Structure 1
Amino acid sequence: MNSQKIANSSFYKNRYLYSFTGTDIFYFWRMIPKRIQFTLYIILIFIVFFSCQNPKKNTAKITNDKAKIEKTIHAADLFYKNKKFDSAFYFYNKARTKCNPNKDAKSYVYCMYYMSEIQQNHEDFIGSTITAKETIPYLNKIKDPNQVWNIYSVLGRNYYYTYDYPTAIYYYSKAFVLKVDRINTLEAKNNIAAIYLDQGKYNKALKIFLSISKEKLVLQNPIYYSKILDYIGICYLKLKNSKALTFFKKSIQINSATKHEEGLGKTYYNLAEYHHNNKALSMMYAKLSYKNHTLSGNTNDRLLALKFIIENTVSPSEIKENALLYIKENHRIYAFRQKAKNQFAKMKYDSKREKDENLKLKAQKIKNELQLEKQESKNIISYIIIILASCLIVFVYYYLTARNNRQKIEATYQSETRISKKLHDELANDIYHTLAFVENRNLSAEENRNYLLKKLDDIYSRTSDLSKKNIPTLSNQNFTISLKEMISGFSTSKINLLINGLDEISWDQLDEMKKVSVYRIIQELLVNMKKHSDATLVAISLQKGNNTIIINYTDNGKGIDSNKMVHKNGLHNIENRIRAIKGEVEIGSDFGKGFKVLIKFPA
């Protein structure tokens, strides 16, 4: 049955396609009202006119956009320099949404790098990784290899902080194939050695740190040099070599001279661990570490030093005091970072949503501009093709519309003819005989009245049957099939329909009215979904409880504001049908959160 319908449909489509002749075009062009013909002529004149315009007028706009991006980046840099990271993130994000990464990859990657740095500093390592990886498709457009290395460095640190050491080493190692500054290569070696240190490969890490300590660039940078000395001291400490103390002391001297509080805090902590057998000396260094980390604002290492103090304190009152301080600080830091993560994620989401709304228009506009720049000499030919295609579409539209109207008129005529013949052949004679019976019989007799009522009832029943000829039957045998066919008719490439439990209900036990109500209610819900909701996923679940049938409808469309919900025709019809079969209906929806309907009625 279905295959026959499909075959017939294909036949008519092909017939429309191949019976389209030049005579038909001329005929239907004459059928178009002269007012519409004039409008088409005006449109064609404007298209030809604008095709001759010089596209260079867009150059000023492009230059202006570039200036706005640079101004926004400059504002972001100032906020970043002043450690106002939330404002810096906002302006970097604003600038990157205005960038076209295919044309201005440098600005785009620059903004994304600092955004990922800010997320990393707030320990949003997953968010930072996602941001940094968005730049990878455009790194081959960057001429400065140091800028490319910045992205790899951020990714390496993210994977290091999340203990994915092999991937971290992979991104750090990319510095060795890039022609970057020597300091970036040394930083990569330093980071790889730090991973070996965490992995317990102390000799391997020590070898790299010792080689870095001899570099001229490192010796000229006191802060960096003290950091390397500290790492060398840690390696010796782990190897239980007394040389560790020499390197720690030298690092202390350099950091004290430069007043580098963060470096002092790290080295004092290492000395506290080194002197773990001397409780008094160990606690002194731990407290110095805590003090310097507090001054430098390094919260993570400050908490680490406080934890060391708690673990090595003997006095119960001091332990309690420090433990409460640790819990309070840890909670404050967690809350602050969580708030920052959510804030940065929301900024990116809002800008992405705004960008997506205009993406299609901008993409088409950019594509047209590129075509104008590259194929200026072919503009006239291109517009002629467009004009011809537009005319062809108009002609085809009117041709198909006219043919469809003719078919509708023909179908209406055939239907009216059939109904007229049915009325004449089946009802006219019966009505005539009934009239004759009324004229010739005494209706006061009960037998004659009963006969007349029986004849009228029969005529009414046959008239009712005739009016329902075009209504699909929902008998026990074909109800499930009809319902499935109706539901599947709403499934498209953009709408995924899921139905569950349809075959598990014994429909033959329901009366005809309930089956018709179920059919029409589901049809009404799907029609409303297709018209209004923009849903991509629809789920319909049917199940039978204790003498009750439950229908649960859910879609992921845009929904309706429950406070402003107005029960218009569709919802009103559903409620009326449910009440007619003594059922209940619950409609739940919030704007942007989909649409849900729960229906219950007695089986």
Structure 2
Amino acid sequence: MMMKKIFRLFQNKTVLKYLMSILIFLIIGCVIYLFKSPKYEPTIKKKHNKSEIRKVLNKADILFDSYELNNSYDYFNKAQLLCDTDIYYIEYVYAITCMAAIEQMQGDFVASEILLTKTLPHLKKIKKPRFAANVYEQFGANYYYTYDYKNSLLYYQKALHLKTSTFRKIVVLNSISQIYLKQNKVKLAESILIPLSKIKTICKENKNVNDYEYARILDDLGLCYHQQEKPEAINYYKKALAIQLRLKNNYALLYTYLHIAEYFQLSNPQKAQPYAKKAYFLSNELNDASNKLQSLKLLTKTSDGQNLKVYTTQFIQLSDSIEKIRTTAKNQFARIKYYSKKDKDENLQYKAEKVKNELQLERQKNRNIISYIILFFTAIFSLFLFCYLSIKGRKEKNDAILKSEIRISKKLSAELAHDVYKTLTFAENIDLTKEDNKEKLLNNLDAIYARTRNISKENCTITTGKQYASDLKEMISGFKTPELNILLNGFDLILWDDIEKNKKIVLYRILQELFVNMKKHRESTLVSITFKITEKNLIIIYNDNGIGTKNSTPNLKNGLQNVENRIKTINGNIIFDNNSEKGFRLSFTFPL
């Protein structure tokens, strides 16, 4: 039932007209929107590949190994800024950990801890436990240097519980023993260091690293015995010293020299002094101000006379210098941190813009999807409507053909059947050998032929090209007889080529039907047709002297209904003259 109503609605030409207008408007609107709508493109993502990050990290590592800490920090900072933490989180954690180590070496333990905290969210993504171990060990060292031994021990134990190599576990255990020494838990430290000292192979991969860690354990064990005032302390110091001299590890040598100097400081100052001097020279070479100050302190305690005065002066000057150096270092690091924060803020701004652009892109994408859906359904509906109108048009065309055939059939029946019947009857009942009868039969056949030709012309295809004017004249002339005279006024003044094809066809049919109607219903002997153009309108005035229409409405059924219907199809209008006593008059107008 609903479908029938819809199809009935589509049969309304006004509805179809508005519907097509809406569909065209929708299609044009969607196309304009898709092509003219602003295209939001995401902020160009920084293209930093792994090799570029690795290159910066390698440079930072080289500077770090050369003890150029400020420059090294700068490169590690650049590396971490290059890292997309969703992709290069390992490189990011490594860079941050190294920056934290430099902060720690510079004595800024708070800054070191802040940096290390940044790594915590990414540690769970890294399968290799050594990165987490590095972070925990540095946390432990920071707390160790700030005398928070409880938290230091906690983080070293966290590092110890990770599934790391034996070598790394030994390093962590050694660090734990140092915490116990600071807490005066000497026995606990000793219980760790003695078993460690019996391990000959600490690092299988690198003999130098193996020997370095072994020497460090011996040195720490010597320190453990030293705190207990046990004489075997010097033996462990000397064993460690022998290994370090062979390895030429100046940093390790420096600490062992200081430990030996401290060991002999009270019992034998003369023996302590050479070790203190060696520590002093090494600290100078390494540019290690803190240990240089410590070695000068030992030299002042083990010297006398002029040497005491010199060392004391140097100690005071170095103390002042260290304060200035630390202030300068803090300023330099403050500058680096400022630029680091600035870069971080820029990155945050970039990320915010990226999120904003992605949101705009998503909205744009949704709008485009909606537009495509509208276009799709509009296209489907337009196709359906096109098919429907095509089928409807074919049906109307077929109906028109059928109606035309029925009309022609009726006309043939009405106009020819009687004449043909009379002619056949006449031919059957008279003697055709007589000349008069034969002439009459021929006249009847000519009349039938003329009627047939006229009907054929009424339904033939109308040419609308260059031949239109001559064909129209020929059609009009076809109605002219000895009894009927036809006058054309202004016909040749009309520019027929400028008139639209459909209007030419309508005009042809109207005039044709007027003549047919005139011959059937009015006994005219004269017909006048006037053609003129006024204000871009073509006016045709028809007059004949047949039966008039005074005070009566023309019988529209007598062919004139078609005339009125046809003129309306080209937006024209028709006027009948009802006041004519003799003859018939009408005029019709349509725009050019």
TM-score (normalised: structure 1)? 0.51
Match 1:278 to one of 264, 268, 274: 268
Letter in 1 for 2:115: T
Alpha-carbon shift at residue 370 of structure 1 (Å) = 10
Q: Which residues of structure 2 form unaligned runs of 5+?
A: 1-25, 374-592
Q: 1:313 to 1:123 in 2, by over 3 A?
A: same
Alpha-carbon shift at residue 200 of structure 1 (Å) = 1.0
Letter in 2 for 1:311: K
User: C-alpha separation between the residues in 1 aligned to 2:90 and 2:32?
Assistant: 42
User: C-alpha separation between the residues in 1 aligned to 2:29 and 2:155?
Assistant: 60
Match 1:228 to one of 202, 217, 220: 217
Contact 1:156–1:172 (8 Å) recurs in 2: yes
1:259 maps onto 2:248 in alignment: yes
Alpha-carbon shift at residue 325 of structure 1 (Å) = 0.5
1:330 maps onto 2:319 in alignment: yes
Contact 2:81–2:343 (8 Å) recurs in 1: no
1:239 maps onto 2:228 in alignment: yes
Letter in 2 for 1:84: E
Letter in 1 for 2:297: K
Contact 1:158–1:168 (8 Å) recurs in 2: yes
Alpha-carbon shift at residue 185 of structure 1 (Å) = 1.4
Match of 2:100 in 1: 116
Contact 1:193–1:204 (8 Å) recurs in 2: yes
Q: Which residues of structure 1 form unaligned runs of 5+?
A: 1-36, 389-603
Q: Sequence identity, in percent?
A: 34
1:262-319 deviation per Cα after TM superposition (whole angstroms, max 9, x unaligned)? 333322332333332223223333333323433444332222121022123332x333
User: C-alpha separation between the residues in 1 aligned to 2:371 and 2:354?
Assistant: 17
1:305 maps onto 2:289 in alignment: no
Q: 1:141 to 1:295 in 2, by over 3 A?
A: same
Match of 2:468 in 1: none
User: C-alpha separation between the residues in 1 aligned to 2:53 and 2:355?
Assistant: 18
Alpha-carbon shift at residue 163 of structure 1 (Å) = 0.7
User: C-alpha separation between the residues in 2 aligned to 1:183 and 1:364?
Assistant: 47
Letter in 2 for 1:240: E
User: C-alpha separation between the residues in 2 aligned to 1:142 and 1:340?
Assistant: 33
Please list, as runs of the form range in 1=range in 2, the aligned pairs for 1:96-107 lying within 5 A after superposition: 96-107=80-91
1:139 maps onto 2:129 in alignment: no
1:67-110 deviation per Cα after TM superposition (whole angstroms, max 9, x unaligned)? 54333333323332333222221122122123222332112111
Contact 1:48–1:383 (8 Å) recurs in 2: no
Larger displacement relative to structure 2 (273-282 or 125-134): 273-282
User: C-alpha separation between the residues in 2 aligned to 1:156 and 1:123?
Assistant: 14
Match of 1:85 in 2: 69
User: C-alpha separation between the residues in 2 aligned to 1:91 and 1:197?
Assistant: 37
Contact 1:261–1:295 (8 Å) recurs in 2: no
TM-score (normalised: structure 2)? 0.52
User: C-alpha separation between the residues in 1 aligned to 2:364 and 2:327?
Assistant: 55
Match 1:148 to one of 132, 152, 155: 132
Alpha-carbon shift at residue 355 of structure 1 (Å) = 3.2
Letter in 1 for 2:274: M
Alpha-carbon shift at residue 65 of structure 1 (Å) = 4.8
Match 2:281 to one of 291, 294, 313: 291
1:144-192 deviation per Cα after TM superposition (whole angstroms, max 9, x unaligned)? 2111211112221111111111111111111222222222211111111
Match 1:211 to one of 171, 195, 211: 195
Letter in 2 for 1:294: N
Letter in 2 for 1:94: K
Q: 1:291 to 1:71 in 2, by over 3 A?
A: closer
User: C-alpha separation between the residues in 2 aligned to 1:154 and 1:282?
Assistant: 33
Match of 2:500 in 1: none
Say what the alpha-carbon RMSD is for the aligned residues: 3.7
User: C-alpha separation between the residues in 1 aligned to 2:202 and 2:298?
Assistant: 31
Q: 1:104 to 1:224 in 2, by over 3 A?
A: same
Alpha-carbon shift at residue 204 of structure 1 (Å) = 0.8
1:350 maps onto 2:339 in alignment: yes
User: C-alpha separation between the residues in 2 aligned to 1:357 and 1:40?
Assistant: 40
Q: 1:252 to 1:85 in 2, by over 3 A?
A: closer
Match of 1:184 in 2: 168
